[in-house]
Structure 1
């Protein structure tokens, strides 16, 4: 059994035989997190992985279905970290996944430099707005806006965590692509794979997935696009496979 608090619910994790604790007033994962968890290259049998800005643990849980390596999730909001820990325990994954309540800007001192094979992050997308514009829900404001960390923090820390040859993967908005590319190179993560995600055919891309290698050689590959919905507002086959495992 799992203890649920306030308005929490226990949801099925789509294609995976897992459950996750969510709350509409605190946090519910998005398609972006699922896409990142399927996009990143991970070692299958062993390895050390870190997920920054973990929220309720969605990416560590999904990564556990793709690798037998150890996974650390880092989340600054205590309530979200607690939700993630309870989900990890419910799914009997505490031997593989460790959730740390902490600030990613300080996490390298705690878990170590240059020892990880993979770092993932679904970071806050938007610069911090004025007090009038900011979301009144603190949990959503921190998840969406660069209040506790910014893009440079995320990429700098990812580089510090990675061993040479390790991979970092991020999901973000296309408007930040040049910032992401320049910061990745600045911090020795060479961009290697880039994929654009479109809400519909003939619409502008609204999401990017990007992966780089620590001290890798220059050679960026742009993958075929992902289009989320068809004209009937149903998921396209590629997205259905990612979400539900359908062939």
Structure 2
């Protein structure tokens, strides 16, 4: 990393490095630092934040304890916190560069009293080894995650740059399995607490099975259609800790484009409010 830095006018104590970009999130005055290369936030992050916040639409000022597992630079947490002004967010991230960027985003947006950054391994949390006071078992109302979608493919592994290793960790279960993620979320949630994640439709049988294995009951899902008539690839899912079986609801699909190159009305509304998302294709995984 080139450590020659400029400093951001909004908060002169926060450095902006040559390999950083600065995005205006168009919500609550929040801005986002992220790396030019590697994993960058996009459509999945916007949809996950909006979907998670929708469960609290009738009580937007309720105080919520939120954990973001695999927080990255903090895009989902910032978008969620802008919608839920009393949310207290703890972000857990294994990658040191991403965690440092998240810490800068906390300072940049003056969220020191609402946000905590913890560098650590979700697998340790799943195994009950993570002893950080900010991640106490059974103390969270909401856990959110945009986890790796793809199962680990060892035959594809080869010498890679740090940038590509970061991308692989974000997209493929090289360092974290679905089971470990859900076990970690289950440990953090209070009884009745909610897990919200974005994943792939083809993994639904695995997801529902693992949720029940760790005391979580799937309650809603919303498929994401890229175009009318095209089979959904991605899905938003919510589950409750110690939830009763039954009462599952599959919502109408969220349509991204009404025709090629044209946003649907719902997506246009999201992007009208969060129009800084730089490239809608960057995080749509097929």
**TM-score normalised per structure 1:** 0.93
Show the 5 A alignment for 1:1-247. Answer: 1=8, 2-40=14-52, 41-42=55-56, 44-67=61-84, 68-107=86-125, 108-110=130-132, 111-130=135-154, 132=156, 136=160, 137-217=164-244, 218-245=246-273
Structure with max Cα Rg = 2
Q: Aligned to 1:193, what secondary structure does the other structure show?
A: strand
- CA–CA distance in 1 between the matches of 2:264 and 2:232? 15
Residue 200 of structure 1: CA displacement? 0.5
Residue 15 of structure 1: CA displacement? 4.7
Q: Which 4+ runs in 1 deviate beyond 6 A?
A: none
Q: Quick check: 1:27–1:80 contact (8 Å CA) kept in 2?
A: no
Judged with a 3 Å threshold, the aligned counterparts in structure 2 of structure 1 residues 223 and 46 are, in CA distance, closer, same or farther, namely same
- CA–CA distance in 2 between the matches of 1:99 and 1:132? 32
- CA–CA distance in 2 between the matches of 1:123 and 1:132? 19
Q: Quick check: 1:15–1:243 contact (8 Å CA) kept in 2?
A: no
Q: Gaps spanning 5+ residues in structure 1: where?
A: none
- CA–CA distance in 2 between the matches of 1:52 and 1:122? 8
Q: Which moved more, 1:36-45 or 1:140-149?
A: 36-45
Residue 24 of structure 1: CA displacement? 2.8
Residue deviations 1:75-113 (CA, integer Å, cap 9, x gap)? 110101111111111111111011111111223532211
CA RMSD of aligned residues (A): 1.8
- CA–CA distance in 1 between the matches of 2:208 and 2:100? 33
Q: Quick check: 2:27–2:79 contact (8 Å CA) kept in 1?
A: no
- CA–CA distance in 1 between the matches of 2:73 and 2:272? 20
Residue 133 of structure 1: CA displacement? 5.2
- CA–CA distance in 1 between the matches of 2:64 and 2:224? 28
Q: Aligned to 2:197, what secondary structure does the other structure show?
A: strand
Residue deviations 1:31-55 (CA, integer Å, cap 9, x gap)? 1111111111246321211010111
Residue 196 of structure 1: CA displacement? 0.3
- CA–CA distance in 1 between the matches of 2:97 and 2:83? 27
